[in-house]
Structure 1
Amino acid sequence: MINARHSLKFSIIRWLSAVFVLAFVAIGTILFLVEKDLAKDKVVTDLNVIAEILGNRSIAALIFNDVSAANTNLSAAQYHQTIDQICLYDQNGDFFALYVSANNKRVCTPKQDIYQENHYEFSADNVNLFVSISDNSQVIGALVIDSNLDFIKTSQQQVVGILTIVLVVAIIAIYMLTNGLLTRMLSPLHHLHETAKSITTNVFSDIRAYKSKDDEVGQLVDVFNSMLDSLAKEHNLLQISEKRFRALADHAPIGIYLRDSDDRFVYVNQKWQDMTQCKLPLSFIDYRRQINAEDWVQVSDQLAQANLVSDSAMIEYGFTTAKGTSKAFLEQIAPVDVGDDSLSACIGSLLDVTELKQAQDDLERMAFNDPLTGLANRRFFNDHLKIEIVTAHKMNQSLAVLMLDLDHFKRVNDTQGHECGDELLTVVARKISQSVSTDDVVSRMGGDEFMILIRDIQSPAQLDRLVQNILASVVTPMGVDSLLDVTASIGVSVYPRDGETGAELIRNADIALYKAKDSGRNQAVYFSKVLDTEIKQKVRLEHKLKHALSENELSVYLQPQYNATAKKFFWAEALIRWIDKEDGFIPPDKFIGLAEETGLIHEIGLFVLREVCAFISKNEAYLTDLGIEGVAVNLSARQFFAKGFLDEIKQVLVEFSVRPEQLEFELTESMVMENTQHAIEIMHQLRDLGIRLSIDDFGTGYSSLAYLKRFPIHSVKIDRSFIRDIPDDQHDVEIASAIIAMAQKLGLEIIAEGVETQLQSDFLHEQGCSFMQGYFYAKPMPFQNVLELSHSESEQKSEA
C-alpha cells in the first residue's frame, strides 16, 4: 500500500491547504493594515472635531483671560477615553490652561509657536494634534491635544483573533471537503493502480481496469486498457513471427546461427550445418580450428572490432570441412545486446562464395591482362607505373615510358581480315616482350597500341639501342603475310626529365608518338619541350578554329580549271581559306588535319558546300558564259562516311536549286582505301544522283589498279608533286606520262594540278592531258574576283 504521507490525495490536500493558508495570510495582512489605517484616520477625525469645539469655546476665555473657564471647557474632553492631555496657549504662545487625564503624567511645554499651521504627528503609542484658535481671522491662541492609540491596538488584536479562528475553521472544512472529494475522484485511479499491480504478475493477463466515468480518469483507463490490448496483440504477433522466423531460417538458402556470450552456438539452421558439416553442440573454439590459419588473424581482429564498436562486420575467410573440402565463406556478424548476457552474444549469416571467389579471381586476371595477347592491360600498366615511379624516386633512378603504335594497322584488317590482324597483334606482342628485360612491363592498351615500361635507365644510349631493337623487331617478317609491310611508330618519355607522374609520362609519350606519325612513321621520337609547345599551339589553333567557325571567319575561294584544247575555263575547285585577325593567313594544310582530328571537318565541309551551291545558284548564268560548268568540292573521310551525308547533300541541292551535275566531289586515295567496299557503295549513290567524282592527289596514295577500275569515278588529278619538276626531272616526266596513259586506257578524264609554267602546260598537252589547274592559269580567288574574270584572260594564257 502506498504511504499516506506520499499519496496523491495527501499531496493535493497539503498543497491546497498551503495555498489557502498563504492566500488567507495575505488577505488577513492586507485587512490588518487597512484596519489600522482606518483607525488612525478615525482618531485624527475625532480629534479635529473635538479641537474645533474646544477652540470655539475657548475664544471667550482667551479674550477675557479667564483661566478657570478655559479649564472647565477643556475638562469636557474627559469623556473621550483616548485623550491623555490638552494644552491651551494664549496669543503670545504662553501656557494658558490644561486638561490632563487621570493616567497621564505629562506636562505642557511653557511656550508654543501658535502661528504654525495645523498638523498632527503619530508616534508608536500616541498622536499629537496642533490646532490654532482664531477670532475674526486673528490667531488668539492654540490647542495641543495628546491622544493615545490603545483602542487601535485592542481592535487589531480582536481582528487577528477573529482571522485566526476563521483560518482554523476554514482549514478543517477544506480538509474534510477535499478528502471526501478526492476519495471519490481518486477511487478509479486506486482501482487502476490495483489492476496494474495484478498485471505485473502476468503481463498478458485478460484482466482490465474498470471505467466508472467518462472523464479524464476514464480516458486514462481507456488508454491503459488499450495499451494492455496492444501488448497482448503484439505478444501474439511476436509468437507468430518467431514461428515464421524459425521456419524461414530453417529453410533459408544461407547459413544462420546464434552464439551466446560464452561463444557457444545455441542455434544453427540446416543450411549452416550443410555448408560447414558441423553439428550442435559446438563451441566457437572448435569451429575456428577449421578456419584457414592465414585468415584467422584477420577474422580475430574483425570480431574484436565489431564487439568493441557494437556494430556489424563482414568477414571473408577460407574454411576446411571435416572431410577436407576447402571452401570460401562470407560471414556477416552482428553483436546483440539485449541486456542479458545469458541470451546471446552475436547473430550471423554464412554464405558459401567458393564459386564466386573463383570467378572473381578469373575476372581479376582478365581485368589486369589482355585476353588476346596475354600482356598486361591498361589498368595494370597504370597501377604498376605509379609503383615504379615511387621506387625510382627513392633509388634515384630513371625509367622510360614507350608508346608504340602500328603504322596503318587498319589496312591489315581491311585487306587481310580481322583474324590476320589479331594474329599480327599476337606476334608483335611476343616480339616486343622478347626485346625487353623480364623486369620491364609490356602492355597492350587497346587496338594496335602498346605501352612499354623500361626500368633503371643507365644512359640515353642504352635506351636508344633498346628502342631501335624494338622498332627492328616489329618490322621483322612475322609470318602473317610476307608481302605485308608492317612498321611501327614509338613515342618516348623519360622519368623524371619529362614528367614526375604516370599521367604526365603517358601524356608526353603520346605527344612524341603523334610527332613520330606526323613525321613519316616507322621511327621513334623522344618527348621534348618543343613538342609540348607544338601541342599547346595545336590546342590554341583548335580553339581559334572553333571560334572562326562560330563567328563565320572562314571563307571559300575558287580556283578555275583550264581546258587547253578548248582554250577556256571549264570547271573550278573550291578551296577553304582562313585569314585570322591575329595570325593572318593560316594555310589549309595547317588546320585541315586538325579539323579532321577534332571532328570540325564535317562542319567545315558542309559550310564549303553551302557556300559553293549558293554561289552557283546566284551566278549560274555568268559562270556558264565564262565556261565554268561546275565546282569541285573536297571531301574528308569523316564527312564522306558520315551516316547522314547523302541526306545533307540532297537537302543542300534542293535548298539552293542546284543541279547535281554542277557539283564534283574530290576524294583522296587514302580516304577511299580505309573501307573500300563501303566507299564504293557511297560513290555509286553519289554518281546515281548525278554528281561527278574524282580521285585527288593521284599517285601519292595506296590504291591499286584492281581497286581503281572498280571506283565509279569520272576523273583523276595528278598530284602537283609530279608536275613541279617537269620537264627537268625525267622521273616525274615518266610518272606523269604513265598516269596520263593509264587514265586514258581506263576512260577517265585527267587533270594536272600545280601547273605554273608554259613548258609544263605544253608537255601535259602533248601527252594528252587537256585539263589543267595551277597558278599559270588562275590563282585561288574570292567569289567576287571570279565574277570579274573575262574570256580574254584565258585566251591570252593559251596564246602565251
Structure 2
Amino acid sequence: MTKFVSLRTKILFGFTVTFTLFFSGISLWFYSFTTANVNKRLKENLKRVAVASAKQIDVEELMGLYQDGKPNLQGRSDDPRFQNQLRWLEERHEINPQVFLYSFVRDNSSQNYSDKEKKIVYLVDVWMNIDSSKSSYFLESSIATEYHMNTLTKGTVEFRDFYEDKWGKWITFYAPIRDKFGNIVGGIGADMEVEEIQEIQKEIKQQILISFGLSYPLLLGLIYGLSTLLTRRFKALQNYAQEVGEGNYNLDISLREKLSFSFFDDERIILAKVLEEMALKIQQREELLSGIFNQVGVGISVSTSDYKFKIVNSTLCHLLGYTEKELLTKTCFDITHPEDIESSWQYVNEVLNSTIFPPLPLEKRCIDKNGKTKWFETAITVIKDNQQNLKYLITVNQNITRRKEMENKLIEAANTDFLTKLWNRAYFMGFLEKLLKKIEQNPDYVFALLLIDIDNFKTINDSLGHLVGDQFLINIANHLRKCVTEKDVVARLGGDEFAILLTTIETVEDSITVAQKIQNAINFPFYVYNQEFFTSASIGIVISNHLAGNNSYVTASDLFRDADIAMYQVKNKDKSNYQIFGREMYDNFIKKLKLENQLKRAIEEGKLTLFYQPIIDLKTGKLYSIESLVRWFHPELGFLSPSKFLPLAQESRLIVDLGNWVLKTACYQLHQWYQKKLLHPNITVNVNIAGKQFETGNLLTQIVDTLEKTKLSPTNLRIEVTETVIAQNTSQIANILQKIKDLGVNIAIDDFGTGYSSLARLRNFPVNQIKIDKAFVKPLNTHPKNIKFLQGIINLCHNLDLEVVCEGIETEQQKQILIDLNCNYGQGYLYAKPMSVNDFEQWIMKM
C-alpha cells in the first residue's frame, strides 16, 4: 500500500513541478514576446507617422514662418499660415492621439557658425492647443541634439529611444522635410510618452497573470485526477500479481467483480479486463481534454505530414464557418488566402529548420466558408519521428481580424488626404516606386504620370475663404476620380496640386484622352455654397519610357521633375491645356536653372544695375518723377532685357530679394541726387513692387527701414503695383497698401488695362495715380474710336481724383493728343529711354 501511495505522490509531484515550470516559462516567454512585439509595432507606427507627415506638409507655407534667418514669432497666432500648419498637425493628432507632432528648422540667426550647427528653432507644435506648458512653441532657439542635426544635414530618419526632458519621458522619431527639389529645409518630430507604453505593458502583464491564475487550479486538478487514475490501475494489477505469486487464486470478490473475471480466468483474460478498464479511463480523460481543447478561445489544429487536417477544435470550425467533417477533408493551405500561401510555406520551412527558438508567429489571411477574409496570428509546432521527418503539425490560430482592421484604418489615414479622401503624396510615391520596379522586371511595361495644377485656385481661396476653397478642392477630386479607371491612382499632393498614375495605357494617345477628359470635366461650372465658379487645369504629362534615347525612367524624382517642367510650360503660356514632356524641354529647363542660379549670385553680389526713365508733366514739359528699372549685364550672354530674367525671379521667389534691392538702391540714388542739387526736392522715384513681396508679410517694414536709412521723406517714394497683382488677393493687398499710404508713400497702379479690372473696383484701393499701358497709347493716331476710348478712361480717373500717366509715348502726335485729352503725365522714348546713372545725370543737366 505504501508503495502505491509513494508512486502516486511521485507522479503527482512530478507532473505538478513539470507543468508549473512549463507554464511559468510559457508565461514569461509570452510576456516578453508580446511586449517586444507591441513595442516594435508602436515604434513602426510612430516612424510611419513622422515620415508620412514630413512628406505631406506644405513646405512653402511652413517656411514662410521662418524669415530672415530667425523665427517670425511676432503675430504668429494671427498668421493664417501658422493656423493652417497647426490645424494640419491637430488633424494628424486626432488620428493618432498618442503621437504629438511638431516642426523645426535649423537656427540661422546666430553669427557664429558653430552655434548654427547646434541650434534649432521650433515653428509649430501641436502641444500649443493641448497643453501650452509642454509646448516648445515659445522657444525661439534651442540646443540641437545629434538626432536633430543628422535629420537636418544628412536627411536620415532618426530614432531617439527613451529619454527625459523637463516635459516628461519620451521616445521620438525625427524625419526630414524636403522641398520639391529634394532639398532638406526642416524636420518633423513625432513624440510618444513613455508612460503610454508602460501602461500598455502593465495591461499585458495583468492579463497574463489573470490567465495563469485561472488556468493553474484546473491544471492541478487535472494532474491529480491523472495520477489517481494511473496509480489505481497499478495498485489493482500489483495486488493481483501478489495473489498469484503466493498461489492464492481466491481473489478478493470486490476486485474480481470490479475487474469482471472469474476464478478460472487465466492471466491474459485478467490483463485484458484490466486494459479494458484502462481504455475506459483513457476515454474519460480524452473527453476531459477534448472539452478543454474545444473551449479555448483560439483555433487549434493537428495536421499530418501532407498538411491535411487530422484534428480541429470547435473554435477553429466556428471561426471559419465549417463543420469539423468539412475541415477534415482540407489541408491547411486550402483555407489560406491565395496571396499569403507563399509566405505560409516559407514560415513552415522556417519552423522545420529552426533548432533552438521557433520563429515569431506569422500574420496571415484565411478565407472562411462564405468567402470572407479573416486575419490570424499563426504559431506552429512540429512533431517529428525518430528519423526527424515531419509527423504532425500543430497550429494555433489567434483571430486578429479586428486588430488588423484598426491597423488598416490607421494605414489608410496615413496614406489618405484628409480633405479630399484621395491618396496622399506618401502613398502616391510608394505606388510610383512599385511601378518603376515593375519596369525593371518587364522593360516593355509603360505607364504615364499626369501632374495637375488648378489654375487661379489661390484667388478663389484667398478671396472667398478656406471653407469655399476646401469644398472647391473636394469637387475637383470627385471629377478627377470619374476620369480614370479603378486601376489608376489619383492623389492630392498638396494645395491645389494633384497627380494621376495611368497604369494601363498602351499608347501616348491614351494619356492625351484622359487629359482631355479632365479638361472637359473641370471646365464646367462648379457650384459651391450657391456660388458659380469657372476654372481650368494645367497638366504636365510624362510617359515612363520617354526619357532621352527612348529609355525608361528609373527614379520618381526624375519623373516628377519632367512632369513639373511640362506643367509649368503650360502655365507660362495660356494655361487650361496639357503638355507632354519632351527632351528639348529638359534642355531648356537646365538652361533656365543655370540662369536662375546666376541671377541669384548676381543679386547677392550686387552685379545688377538700375536704369532710370523720366516721367514728364505733359503741360509744362518739366520732370515730374523718375521710374527705376532693373537691368542685367550677363558676363556670358551680354545685356539681358527684364523679360528674360524677371519671370525667372518671379517663379523662384528671387523676386523678393530683387525687389528689396531695387527699393534700397533707387531710394539711395535719389538721396544722392538731392545732395548733388541735381533734382528738385519734390521729385519722386517710382519703384515696382511684385506680388510675392506682399506675401512675405514684411514689405511695410522694408519700406520704413529703407526710408530711414536713406533719409528720404515718404512723399519722395511712389510704389507701382500692377493691375494683375491687386486682382489676386483684394482684401490682403488693400490692407497693406493702406498702411503704406498712411506713411505718406504715393501709390500707382501700373500697366492699367492689361489685367481686365474695372475702375470701379480700383476705388477699393488707396491709390492716387493710374499708369495706362502703352497698348492704349500706340494706336491713338490710327482710329478716332481709340481716342474716345482713352478719353473715357482719363475722364473717369479724374472724377475719382486719380492722376493719369500714359506710358509708351513715342511721337509728337501722341503727345499732343494726350495733352488735348487732359492727361497729366507722360513717359516714353519721345522724352528719353531708360538711362544709366551717369547718362541720366547728363540728361538732367540739359533739361
Q: Paired residue for 2:391?
A: none
State yes or no: 1:255 paired with 2:211. Answer: no
Deviates more, 1:534-543 or 1:609-618: 609-618
Tell me if the contact between 2:674 and 2:680 (Cα under 8 Å) persists in the aligned partners: no
Residue type at the aligned position of 2:409: D
Q: Return the match for 1:711 from 751, 765, 769.
A: 765
Q: Paired residue for 1:447?
A: 495
Equivalent position SS for 2:354: helix
Q: Paired residue for 2:552?
A: 500
Q: CA deviation at 1:395?
A: 8.0
Q: Paired residue for 1:486?
A: 535
Equivalent position SS for 1:776: coil
Q: Paired residue for 1:619?
A: 673
Q: In the superposition, relative to structure 1, how do residues 734 and 451 fare at CA in structure 2: closer, same or farther (>3 Å)?
A: farther
CA deviation profile, 1:465-518 (whole Å, cap 9, x unmatched): 443333122112233477533122222222312462362333222211100010
Q: CA deviation at 1:792?
A: 5.0
Q: RMSD between aligned alpha carbons?
A: 4.7
Q: CA deviation at 1:279?
A: 8.8
Q: In the superposition, relative to structure 1, how do residues 352 and 649 fare at CA in structure 2: closer, same or farther (>3 Å)?
A: farther
Residue type at the aligned position of 1:585: F
Q: Paired residue for 1:467?
A: 515
Distance 2:671 2:381 in 1: 82
Q: CA deviation at 1:660?
A: 1.1
Residue type at the aligned position of 1:453: L
Distance 1:732 1:331 in 2: 85
Q: CA deviation at 1:359?
A: 2.7
Q: CA deviation at 1:775?
A: 1.2
Q: In the superposition, relative to structure 1, how do residues 783 and 466 fare at CA in structure 2: closer, same or farther (>3 Å)?
A: same
Tell me if the contact between 2:364 and 2:378 (Cα under 8 Å) persists in the aligned partners: no
Q: Return the match for 2:336 from 294, 304, 325.
A: 294
Distance 2:203 2:807 in 1: 88
Equivalent position SS for 1:779: coil
Residue type at the aligned position of 1:664: R
Tell me if the contact between 1:692 and 1:713 (Cα under 8 Å) persists in the aligned partners: yes
Q: In the superposition, relative to structure 1, how do residues 626 and 617 fare at CA in structure 2: closer, same or farther (>3 Å)?
A: closer
Q: Paired residue for 2:524?
A: 476
CA deviation profile, 1:433-465 (whole Å, cap 9, x unmatched): 333444443333222222233355455555544
Q: CA deviation at 1:674?
A: 2.8
CA deviation profile, 1:528-579 (whole Å, cap 9, x unmatched): 2221122111101011112212332111111111111122011011111110
Deviates more, 1:388-397 or 1:715-724: 388-397
Q: Paired residue for 2:106?
A: none
Residue type at the aligned position of 2:552: E
Q: CA deviation at 1:278?
A: 3.2
Deviates more, 1:605-614 or 1:418-427: 418-427
Distance 1:250 1:653 in 2: 67
Q: In the superposition, relative to structure 1, how do residues 778 and 622 fare at CA in structure 2: closer, same or farther (>3 Å)?
A: farther
Distance 1:591 1:521 in 2: 21
Distance 1:250 1:686 in 2: 63
Tell me if the contact between 1:631 and 1:662 (Cα under 8 Å) persists in the aligned partners: yes
Q: Return the match for 2:296 from 269, 274, 278.
A: 278
Residue type at the aligned position of 1:404: I
Distance 2:604 2:809 in 1: 35
Q: In the superposition, relative to structure 1, how do residues 716 and 316 fare at CA in structure 2: closer, same or farther (>3 Å)?
A: farther
Distance 1:549 1:660 in 2: 25
Tell me if the contact between 1:695 and 1:717 (Cα under 8 Å) persists in the aligned partners: yes
Q: Paired residue for 1:315?
A: 361
Q: Equivalences for 1:187-202 in 2 at 5 Å?
A: none
Q: Equivalences for 1:540-579 in 2 at 5 Å?
A: 540-579=594-633
- Where does structure 1 lack aligned partners over 5 or more consecutive residues? 1-240, 260-264, 268-275, 321-325, 336-348, 794-800
Distance 1:777 1:523 in 2: 42
Q: Paired residue for 2:473?
A: 425
State yes or no: 1:370 paired with 2:417. Answer: yes
Q: In the superposition, relative to structure 1, how do residues 782 and 653 fare at CA in structure 2: closer, same or farther (>3 Å)?
A: same
State yes or no: 1:414 paired with 2:367. Answer: no
Distance 1:497 1:385 in 2: 16
Distance 2:790 2:345 in 1: 85
Q: CA deviation at 1:768?
A: 1.8
Q: In the superposition, relative to structure 1, how do residues 609 and 395 fare at CA in structure 2: closer, same or farther (>3 Å)?
A: closer
Tell me if the contact between 2:526 and 2:533 (Cα under 8 Å) persists in the aligned partners: no
Q: In the superposition, relative to structure 1, how do residues 253 and 283 fare at CA in structure 2: closer, same or farther (>3 Å)?
A: farther
Residue type at the aligned position of 1:454: L
Q: Paired residue for 1:434?
A: 482
**Percent sequence identity over aligned pairs:** 29
Tell me if the contact between 2:527 and 2:533 (Cα under 8 Å) persists in the aligned partners: no
Q: In the superposition, relative to structure 1, how do residues 737 and 314 fare at CA in structure 2: closer, same or farther (>3 Å)?
A: farther
CA deviation profile, 1:670-698 (whole Å, cap 9, x unmatched): 32333322212211111111111111111
Q: In the superposition, relative to structure 1, how do residues 729 and 578 fare at CA in structure 2: closer, same or farther (>3 Å)?
A: farther
- Where does structure 2 lack aligned partners over 5 or more consecutive residues? 1-23, 32-200, 213-217, 221-293, 304-310, 321-334, 367-372, 383-395
Larger Rg belongs to: 1
TM-score of the superposed pair, with normalisation by structure 1:
0.58
Q: Paired residue for 2:742?
A: 688
Distance 1:380 1:467 in 2: 22
Equivalent position SS for 1:572: strand
Residue type at the aligned position of 1:419: L
Residue type at the aligned position of 2:822: G
Q: Return the match for 2:689 from 626, 635, 659.
A: 635
Tell me if the contact between 1:555 and 1:578 (Cα under 8 Å) persists in the aligned partners: yes
Residue type at the aligned position of 1:294: T
Q: How many residues align?
A: 536
Tell me if the contact between 1:314 and 1:330 (Cα under 8 Å) persists in the aligned partners: no
Distance 2:410 2:731 in 1: 38
Q: CA deviation at 1:245?
A: 8.6
Deviates more, 1:414-423 or 1:737-746: 414-423
Tell me if the contact between 1:568 and 1:627 (Cα under 8 Å) persists in the aligned partners: no
Q: CA deviation at 1:381?
A: 3.5
Q: Return the match for 1:533 from 555, 568, 587.
A: 587
Tell me if the contact between 1:569 and 1:627 (Cα under 8 Å) persists in the aligned partners: no
Q: In the superposition, relative to structure 1, how do residues 279 and 695 fare at CA in structure 2: closer, same or farther (>3 Å)?
A: closer
Distance 1:610 1:250 in 2: 66
Q: CA deviation at 1:661?
A: 1.0
Equivalent position SS for 1:381: helix
Equivalent position SS for 1:396: coil
Q: CA deviation at 1:704?
A: 4.0
CA deviation profile, 1:12-43 (whole Å, cap 9, x unmatched): xxxxxxxxxxxxxxxxxxxxxxxxxxxxxxxx
Residue type at the aligned position of 1:408: N
Equivalent position SS for 1:574: strand
Distance 1:727 1:745 in 2: 25
State yes or no: 1:668 paired with 2:718. Answer: no
Deviates more, 1:772-781 or 1:701-710: 701-710
Q: In the superposition, relative to structure 1, how do residues 277 and 540 fare at CA in structure 2: closer, same or farther (>3 Å)?
A: farther
State yes or no: 1:775 paired with 2:821. Answer: no
Residue type at the aligned position of 1:278: V
State yes or no: 1:598 paired with 2:598. Answer: no
